[in-house]
Amino acid sequence: MSLRLGDTAPDFTAESTAGPIHLHAWLGESWGLLFSHPKDFTPVCTTELGAVAALKPEWDRRGVKVLGLSVDSVAEHRAWAGDIEDVTGHALNFPLLADPDRVVAGLYDMIHPNANDTLTVRSVFVIGPDKKIKLTLTYPASTGRNFDELLRVIDSLQRTSAHKVATPADWRPGQPVIVVPSLTDDQAQALFPGFETVKPYLRRTPDPVG
């Protein structure tokens, strides 16, 4: 059965380009981004891994550890790494899990037989410091992901976990946020003095993160 938001991210130990990784211990108190791609030496995947490597300062700033996965071996990952740097100008700077026996792919339901019964799809899991799944996404093999959007979601998730706020459509850091509906107006006033009431159920306040 597929994983749902709020489920505990299945723990595993697997080989990677940075040696064996025991997921929960490796994550520690950090946020995690676990993403699968179908296969090494393929064009879209090459661009994606370079894009993720280029964003290293952004992952670090948010305390996010990034972990890629495909069903290929560590030796294949290492052989491919040079191409990723050649093509994108960014060397791999995060571990790539090898999953030739599809153990992790099975735990995270990353094989979709209607797409391809042996290759992982482009799955994304954002994992919180509590090891719970905060976001799942599945993209087709032919569509490279937008990792800026994943940073945006993580910015929203991190505000929601630290403050009683949600974020509106197309929100970007620095823009007003929404006071969660579970707060009464008195509670909202104590936490967000001067909040704006757009509708009784829609109250806005400045971004609590400076």
Site for ligand BEZ in 141-170 (CB under 6 A): 141-142
**Least distance from ligand BEZ to the Cβ atom of residue 120, Å:** 10
Which of 45, 105, 127, 150 is flagged as catalytic? 45
Q: Are 196 and 205 in contact (CB under 8 A)?
A: yes
Name the minimum Å distance from CB 87 to ligand BEZ. 12
Nearer to ligand BEZ, 68 or 128 (CB): 68
Site string for ligand BEZ, 23-42 (x = CB under 6 A): ---------------xx--x
Report which residue type is found at 61: R
Cα 170 to Cα 178: distance, rounded to the nearest angstrom: 13
Q: Is 28 a catalytic residue?
A: no
Q: Which is nearer to ligand BEZ, 28 or 82 (CB)?
A: 82
Residues 115-144 that bind ligand BEZ (CB under 6 A): 141-142
- Contacts with ligand BEZ by CB under 6 A: the residue count is 8
10: Cβ–Cβ under 8 A, 6 or more apart, which residues?
A: 3, 23, 107, 108
- Token duo for residue 54: 């280029």
Buried b (16+ CB within 10 A) or exposed e, 176-204: bbbbeeebeeeebeeebeebeeeeeeebb
Contacts of 190 (CB under 8 A, 6+ apart): none
Dump strand ranges (E) for 10-132. 13-14, 21-22, 31-36, 64-70, 96-98, 122-127
Site string for ligand BEZ, 44-83 (x = CB under 6 A): xx--------------------------------------
Both structure tokens of 119: 């290759």
Smallest gap from Cβ 37 to ligand BEZ, in A, equals 6
Nearer of residues 43 and 194 to ligand BEZ, judged by Cβ: 43
The residue among 142 and 184 lying less far from ligand BEZ, judged by its C-beta, is: 142
Position 20: which residue type? Answer: P
What residues are labeled active site?
Answer: 45
Binding interface with ligand BEZ (CB under 6 A): 38-39, 42-45, 141-142
